[in-house]
């Protein structure tokens, strides 16, 4: 979608940059969501919920190198805004502290091009680490 948006000079809005709370550190393997929480919609059984949590927590652990010099929320916003077709990011805001942290996304260490490329490489492998022979 980004190449088409760039070609037609369209700004995109990206929502839920923190993977439904997974990358913020507050969701753990044993987390349960209250009735009505949107995260229950796609995971309608305990087995699906467990699989979603395991897969998601594994994925957000891989780019842990992004946390050096940044809060847990800042790298996701920086990464998304790196894309020129993105006009704005719409994170979930739970309270004043979350708002302040997200609003200060650029006060942490800037996302380097090497870090951006490293995350893109992780994404291409579904956030699975390189085998020892590939390092």
The residue to which tokens 């680490």 are assigned: 129
Structure tokens at 93: 């805001």
pLDDT of 131 above 80:
no
Which residue ranges form the domains of the chain, and what is each CATH number?
2-33+43-134 (3.20.20.100)
- What's the residue count for the chain? 135
Q: What is the pLDDT of residues 54-81, one digit of tens each?
A: 898 889 888 889 999 999 899 999 999 9
CA 124 to the chain's CA centroid? 15
Q: Across residues 86-114, what is the average pLDDT?
A: 93
Q: What is the pLDDT of residue 134?
A: 54
Q: What is the pLDDT of residue 133?
A: 46
Q: What is the percentage of the chain residues whose pLDDT exceeds 70?
A: 96
pLDDT of 12 above 80:
yes
Average pLDDT, the chain: 89
| Interacting residues of 102 by C-beta distance below 8 A, sequence separation 6+ | 73, 74, 77, 91, 93
Structure tokens at 24: 């913020």
**CB half-sphere exposure, 16, CA atoms < 13 A:** 6
Whole-angstrom Cα distance, residue 125 to residue 30? 26
The CA distances from residue 73 to 41, 67, 100, in Å, are: 24, 9, 11
Least confident of 29-38, 79-88, 116-125: 29-38
Q: Across residues 26-33, what is the average pLDDT?
A: 84
Q: Of the candidates 105, 20, 96, which has an alpha carbon nearest to the alpha carbon of residue 59?
A: 20
């Amino acid at each position: 979608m980004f190449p088409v948006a760039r070609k037609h000079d369209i700004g995109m809005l990206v929502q839920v940059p923190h993977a439904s709370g997974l990358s913020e550190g507050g969701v753990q393997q044993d987390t349960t969501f209250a009735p009505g929480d949107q995260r229950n919609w796609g995971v309608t059984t305990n087995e699906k919920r467990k699989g979603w949590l395991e897969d998601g927590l594994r994925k957000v652990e891989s780019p842990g190198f992004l946390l050096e010099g940044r809060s847990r929320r800042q790298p996701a916003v920086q990464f998304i805004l790196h894309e020129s077709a993105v006009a704005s990011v719409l994170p979930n805001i739970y309270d004043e502290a979350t708002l302040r942290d997200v609003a200060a996304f650029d006060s942490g260490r800037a996302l380097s091009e090497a870090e951006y490329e490293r995350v893109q490489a992780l994404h291409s492998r579904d956030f699975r680490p390189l085998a020892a022979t590939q390092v």
